[in-house]
Amino acid sequence: MTARGELLGLLQVSALGEGAEDRLNQSRDLAMAIADGMSLALSNIALREKLRSQALRDPLTGLYNRRYMEDSLERLVRLAGREKKNLSLIMIDLDHFKKLNDNHGHAMGDAVLRETAAAILGSLRESDVACRYGGEELLVILPDCTIEDAAAKAESIRERIHALSGHHGTSISASFGVSSMPLITSQMTDLIATADAALYAAKKNGRNCVVLAEVKKVKAPVQQAVSDESAEATAPAAELIQLVAAE
């Protein structure tokens, strides 16, 4: 069975007993029609799956693309909030990637990106989602994962990426920013922003390292005694408490 010049399979028709050859000859046209129909159906299924993959995945690395990442992260954040579970995010950026392209060519840069993607996928669970966020920046979503476990996972990936240096004969490394909910934030946009801020801190700290997002400290409201005999002091005190708590 073939379609669009591609071999898709084999349809075998057989007959037994007396007059088997004659029966096979009589059914030849029907068998050919069935084979043609099945070939077209299989080809359409394969084409649909290919188009679906192209719509969801980055063609170079094979990781999910940014659009899929945003849809998945929004769904997983809602799920984690509803089930009161942890959700962690790892932001990854290859160090000095422009310099790598300039010195060794884009072909090598593409190879490093593909091998980096493979190193990331080799460290993840089936439930984790790895995406190409843009350029040399990658992102990993870790459902039901604490920030401590995410940091350990990031360190494992960092070591795998750094090990690519020996294969290519040049220094290859990446910086990592890790954030988590509900410890750091409960909002999807803040989860990405805090992971990105931690990644920027990793760059400032010399690159090739893992930095965790800072836990925001909530200021306690100022307690101010209000005299029962002074009703006029009540309103200013309440305003002071609201302003300090909102900072």
Catalytic residues: 136
Exposure b/e, 180-213, CB count within 10 A at least 16 = b: bbebbbeebebbbbbbbbbbebbeeeeebbbbbb
Q: In 3D, which of 119, 102, 98 has the Cα closest to residue 176? A: 119
User: Which amino acid is it at 238?
Assistant: A
User: Contact, 56 vs 117, CB < 8 A?
Assistant: no
Those residues whose C-beta lies under 8 Å from the C-beta of residue 220, and which sit 6 or more positions away, are none
CA gap 139, 90 in Å, rounded: 6
CA gap 72, 46 in Å, rounded: 24
Note if the bond before 182 is cis, omega within 30 degrees.
yes
